[in-house]
Amino acid sequence: MDDIKYGEILLPGDEKTQDRREKRVRDKFWPTMKKAVRHLPFGRDAVAAFYCATDPKTPRKVKGILLAALAYFVMPADIIPDFFAVIGFSDDMAVLTAAIAMVSGHIKEGHYEAADRALSDETPKP
């Protein structure tokens, strides 16, 4: 995986790829986030990105980019394994930061409000 570039990770993919990524993200996002949230300086942005990616009003290309980044976040094996605490999430942070920067105009205040609600509860609900 060392030769994979962030631009390749963030390709939106075709409809089948997006559907597969969305299922993976929906299944694994909250368990991964619960483990990572205390180590992540970008937890609120990651949760807002999740809500944007799963919002039916979000354009398909934007969803694809966010789902690609979130799928990378929830993958058990990536460039730097996440069990290395803060350092392990640095590659995830770089991928999510790049994705969020690319589509920032589509992550609405309502997505951040949903993220704030989810992060304030002990058991967030998708």
Q: What was the pLDDT predicted at 24?
A: 84
Out of 15-19, 84-88, 100-104, least confident range: 84-88
CA dist., res. 61 & res. 5, Å (int): 19
- Does the predicted TM-score (pTM) go above 0.85? no
CB 76 within 8 A of CB 27: no
Evaluate if residue 37 carries a pLDDT over 80: no
Collapsed DSSP state (helix, strand, coil) of residue 37:
coil
Q: What is the mean pLDDT of residues 23-47?
A: 78
Evaluate if residue 13 carries a pLDDT over 50: yes
Evaluate if residue 8 carries a pLDDT over 90: no
Q: What was the pLDDT predicted at 41?
A: 74
Q: What is the mean pLDDT of residues 43-50?
A: 90
Please list the helix, strand and coil fractions of the chain in percent, rounded to the nearest 5, in that order.
70, 0, 30
Q: What was the pLDDT predicted at 9?
A: 57
CB 88 within 8 A of CB 80: yes
Q: What is the mean pLDDT of residues 40-64?
A: 91
pLDDT tens profile 58-93? 999 999 999 999 988 887 655 444 444 545 667 777
63 or 34, higher pLDDT: 63
